[in-house]
Amino acid sequence: MTPACHPALPPVLTAAEARSRGLHLLEGKGRAGGWATEGAAAPSRSGRAVGGAHASGAEAGSAEARLVHHPMWAVRFDVERGPRGLERLLCLVDAVSTTAHMVAEPQLAAAVLDAVRRGEEGLVDASGAPGAASPHRPPTVSAEDAMEAARAVAGAAMRKRAKLAFLFSLRPAARPALVLKPNWLVRAQGSAAEAEFLLDGLDGSHYVIAFRRRAGRDPE
């Protein structure tokens, strides 16, 4: 059975940038003594800095990058804020873990809303349609649970912003829409070590899946 297609957000990182980033991370961790022993996963989040710069000697390695897509629920709210009138809020909820966060960055919000529009207009139903993809993991969080997770995050943000100066109410602006977030799965190999990373295709943050030092090789 062919996996269902959903609208995908465009990655900010290109494949070449993802490969370069993987080599940079591999070189840095090799010189630092490694993150994990063979066969162990070592979760770690980086900062938001991205780019194509190589660490010293990283050019000698090789890397491959494969684009994968993670399912997310886009949840939209109308917020009534007393005399200030109506405000729109947008949240993304991980469709596997239920982790929710607000979308405040204008370019990301525009990309999410465009993906939602394409999905609502039926422009991504067929495999191979522009901007369409299949998730590498099936969504396990229901739209109803995503709505509740998003409501909790949005409500907390509004209460902090309002500082109890006025009342507000959150109303769903539409049913949650499933969109796909791009990630790069990068496998990098160097003379002293090899590693596998998951790079966030939107902000360049990374998760270390595996790190293994080659036998007989010590960090310089």
Question: For 135-149, how does the pLDDT look when each residue is reduced to its tens digit (9 = 90+)?
Answer: 999 999 999 999 999
**Which of 46-55, 76-85, 168-177 tops mean pLDDT?**
168-177
Which pLDDT score is estimated for 33? 35
The answer on 166 and 100 residing in a single domain is: yes
The answer on 52 and 125 residing in a single domain is: no
- Taking the C-alpha atoms of residue 191 and residue 62, their distance in angstroms, rounded to an integer, is 10
For residues 80 and 145, which has the higher predicted lDDT (pLDDT)? 145
What residues does 69 pair with on adjacent strands? 182
Q: For 1-56, where are the alpha helices, taking DSSP H only?
A: 15-32
The answer on 74 and 44 residing in a single domain is: no
The answer on 174 and 88 residing in a single domain is: yes
Nearest 10 degrees: CA dihedral of 142, 146, 149, 153?
170
Domain containing 63 equals 13-67+186-213
With respect to residue 136, please indicate whether it lies within any of the assigned structural domains.
yes
Question: For 146-165, how does the pLDDT look when each residue is reduced to its tens digit (9 = 90+)?
Answer: 999 999 999 888 887 766 55
Tell me the average pLDDT of the chain.
Answer: 80
Question: For 24-75, how does the pLDDT look when each residue is reduced to its tens digit (9 = 90+)?
Answer: 998 876 443 333 323 333 333 333 333 333 333 444 689 999 999 999 999 9
- The amino acid at residue 82 is G
Query: How is residue 211 written in tokens?
Result: 């790190």
Which pLDDT score is estimated for 42? 35
Contact present, 205 and 48 (Cβ < 8 Å): yes
With respect to residue 220, please indicate whether it lies within any of the assigned structural domains.
no
With respect to residue 1, please indicate whether it lies within any of the assigned structural domains.
no
Looking at the structure of the chain, the number of domains it has is 2
84 by DSSP, 3-state: which?
helix
Question: For 101-126, how does the pLDDT look when each residue is reduced to its tens digit (9 = 90+)?
Answer: 999 899 999 999 999 999 988 877 65
The answer on 28 and 82 residing in a single domain is: no
How is residue 44 annotated by DSSP? -
The answer on 144 and 154 residing in a single domain is: yes
